[in-house]
Chain A
């Protein structure tokens, strides 16, 4: 079967996938602030994949707001919110936030104990 046959099918659907390079500026349990040289329209939904070290974490997000970074040429700050359409798996960005919070809490405990007089 070639493309002509697929295009001629009565249930034919075309989907174009665009991959926009981004950098994660910050993250919270509700979403991420990402930076991009491409302007994304508010309301756009997509699959955000972020490399942390050698691991890739991903989640579905929706663009909530877009703001041009002043004095940085064509650079945009894109506020995204996580879409809770699936359970957060081990490679979910939502799990990264939980881990960060735990690391910070552990650090606070360590500091507390190390600063107590013996």
Chain B
């Protein structure tokens, strides 16, 4: 079965989906599926596009940011970098946010307080700055 979702008049290929039927233990009965059987925890009906829909998963991680004496920036965080990968680095402080498009130049593990962290050297490609949104007033007691 293939059905179209979206607004009328769209090309059929843009939003076509099929329904994967699966039995009580979660085994998929579709003919061309390369998905393996899972543990049967699934309770909800699943819909599979006839042509996969593309997208992106944006993952945010907090990092320590330092200036690199050789130019660029260095971050220390829990995840390693992939050399050549482009990412966005937001540095907030003193009411400002600096947004930088960066590219990973080097990534190596370091020990910090007994834990493995990753020191990633970044080349800055673009930078922009804005005032931080002030939705709340910080009240310091005492």
* A residues lining the B interface (CB < 8 Å): 1, 3-30, 33-36, 40, 44-56, 61, 67, 69-70, 72, 77, 79-80, 96-97, 99-101, 103-104, 107
- Closest partner residue, chain A, to B49 (CB atom): A24
Given known A-B contacts A3-B98, A52-B15, A21 and B93 have beta carbons under 8 A apart: no
Partner of A50 from B43, B53, B77 at Cβ < 8 Å: B53
Quote the shortest CB–CB distance from B75 to chain A (angstroms): 6
B56 within 8 A of A: yes
Q: Is the CB of A26 within 8 A of B61?
A: no
* Further 6 A-B residue pairs, CB within 8 A, beyond A6-B92, A18-B79: A4-B67, A13-B92, A26-B47, A27-B46, A27-B48, A69-B34
Partner of A27 from B7, B47, B58, B64 at Cβ < 8 Å: B47
Q: Is the CB of B94 within 8 A of A52?
A: no
Q: Is the CB of A1 within 8 A of B75?
A: no
* B residues lining the A interface (CB < 8 Å): 1, 3-7, 10-11, 14-15, 17, 19-20, 34-36, 38, 42-49, 52-67, 73, 75, 77, 79, 85, 87-94, 96-98, 100, 127, 129
Partner of B57 from A1, A48, A52 at Cβ < 8 Å: A48
Q: Is the CB of A22 within 8 A of B59?
A: no
Q: Collect the chain B residues with CB atoms within 8 Å of residue A16's CB.
A: 60-63, 75, 77, 87-89
Q: Collect the chain A residues with CB atoms within 8 Å of residue B53's CB.
A: 23-24, 50-52
In the bound complex, how far is the Cα of B52 from the Cα of A23, in angstroms? 6
Quote the shortest CB–CB distance from B132 to chain A (angstroms): 10
- Closest partner residue, chain A, to B131 (CB atom): A1
In the bound complex, how far is the Cα of B55 from the Cα of A61, in angstroms? 13
Q: Is the CB of A28 within 8 A of B88?
A: no
Partner of B3 from A24, A44, A103 at Cβ < 8 Å: A103
